[in-house]
């Protein structure tokens, strides 16, 4: 008998770890994976709400989010490959061309 | 201590452990492997919440396909965690980022704690349910109420595939009129 709020707390912790990862990581690929982790934390919260309300709609939304995460991973990794081909690095601190 | 609680505590601990080591690793390959560990532990949590279909999808699609795509790219670029990342960020900046992350987490935790869902309970041992969240239940909702979003997702995937190919394609060497070859993709680069 685990309460649903325990899963919400787990989702929040995973989201926080993802946020810290986005902030502190300097490798572009690790940063991208931290974004994926945040998406997963949101998915877990959706599934927990879905269970609490006894509705399957949350599962459908999570399914759509997973599809969009797959599309995003494909395009993002293509961008990373392109950037690496031009700049020979994946260090996010080097990409300051648009910095004010 | 019942079995459901034990399963939840172990899988939650493994999920948080994998996620923490994922962002702490220097080698991106190890980072991906820790992410896969975290995803499998999260799939156990999905099963406990009754999401049988999505738990399977998470392992098959996310841990099995998307993370392998990440591994492919890391190995394609030959990143080993030893390349020059420049001088480490100042301690004050690192500490500030960590503090802001923890503050955000605490704030979200307070919001979530106020959510009125404390009463419902979950688990795969005591509160077992095979119908909720099964393939049949999800498919019935997906193909009736959410049919148009589902179809649009297919279009989105097609666009993403075409876009990824176009972005990652090597620009062909263009022979200019004086015989000198130049790459159009690098024309605007300043270095």
Q: H or E element: which one contains B174?
A: strand B174-175
Contact call for B73 and A81, based on CB within 8 A? yes
Contact call for B127 and A1, based on CB within 8 A? yes
Q: B87 to chain A: which residues are within 8 Å by CB?
A: none
B190, pLDDT greater than 90: no
A11, A49 in Cβ contact below 8 A?
no
Q: What is the mean pLDDT of chain B?
A: 83
Report the length, in residues, of chain B. 191
pLDDT at residue B187 in the model: 45
- Contact residues, A window 34-93, toward B, CB-based 8 Å cutoff: 34, 36-37, 40, 43-45, 47-52, 54, 56-57, 59-60, 62-64, 66-75, 77-82, 84-86, 89-91, 93
Please state which of the ranges A64-73, B44-53, B79-88, B118-127 shows the lowest mean pLDDT. Answer: B118-127
In this complex, is the C-beta atom of B132 within 8 Å of any C-beta atom belonging to chain A? yes
Own/partner contacts of B102-108, CB < 8 Å, gap of 24 or more, are B102/A16, B102/A20, B104/A16, B104/A19, B105/A12, B105/A13, B105/A15, B105/A16, B105/A19, B108/A12, B108/A15, B108/A16
In this complex, is the C-beta atom of A20 within 8 Å of any C-beta atom belonging to chain B? yes
Both tokens of residue B158? 């097609």
pLDDT-above-90 percentage for chain B: 47
- C-alpha span between B185 and B43 (Å, rounded): 42
Report how far Cα B136 is from the mean position of its chain's Cα atoms. Answer: 26
User: ipTM of this complex > 0.95?
Assistant: no
- C-alpha span between A49 and B128 (Å, rounded): 17
Q: How confident is the model at residue B174 (pLDDT cuts 50, 70, 90)?
A: low
Both tokens of residue A67? 């599809």
The residues, ordered by sequence, that sit 6+ positions from B109 with a Cβ below 8 Å of its Cβ are A9, A12, A13
Q: How confident is the model at residue B1 (pLDDT cuts 50, 70, 90)?
A: low
Q: Which residue of A has its CA nearest to B48?
A: A2
- C-alpha span between B21 and B12 (Å, rounded): 14
């Amino acid at each position: 008998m685990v309460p649903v709020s325990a899963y919400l707390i787990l989702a929040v912790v995973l989201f926080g770890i993802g946020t810290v990862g986005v902030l502190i990581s300097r490798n572009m690929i690790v940063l991208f994976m931290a974004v994926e982790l945040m998406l997963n934390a949101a998915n877990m919260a959706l599934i927990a709400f879905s269970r609490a309300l006894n509705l399957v709609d949350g599962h459908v939304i999570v399914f759509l989010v997973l599809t969009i995460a797959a599309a995003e991973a494909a395009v993002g990794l293509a961008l990373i490959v392109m950037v690496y081909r031009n700049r020979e690095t994946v260090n996010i601190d080097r990409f300051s061309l648009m910095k004010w | 201590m019942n079995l459901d609680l034990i399963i939840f505590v172990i899988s939650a601990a493994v999920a948080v452990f994998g996620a923490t080591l994922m962002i702490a690793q220097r080698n991106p390959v190890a980072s991906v492997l820790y992410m896969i560990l975290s995803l499998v532990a999260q799939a156990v949590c999905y099963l406990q919440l009754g999401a049988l279909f999505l738990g399977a999808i998470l392992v098959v699609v996310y841990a099995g396909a998307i993370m392998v795509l990440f591994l492919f790219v890391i190995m394609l670029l030959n990143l080993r965690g030893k390349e020059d990342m420049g001088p480490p960020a100042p301690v004050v900046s690192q500490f500030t980022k960590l503090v802001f992350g923890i503050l955000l987490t605490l704030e979200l935790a307070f919001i979530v704690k106020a959510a009125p869902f404390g009463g419902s309970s979950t688990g795969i041992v005591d509160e077992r349910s095979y119908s909720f969240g099964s393939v049949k239940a999800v498919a019935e909702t997906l193909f009736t109420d959410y049919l148009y979003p589902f179809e649009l997702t297919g279009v989105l995937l097609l666009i993403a595939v075409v876009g990824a190919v176009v972005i990652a394609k090597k620009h062909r060497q263009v022979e200019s009129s004086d015989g000198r070859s130049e790459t159009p993709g690098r024309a605007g680069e300043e270095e």
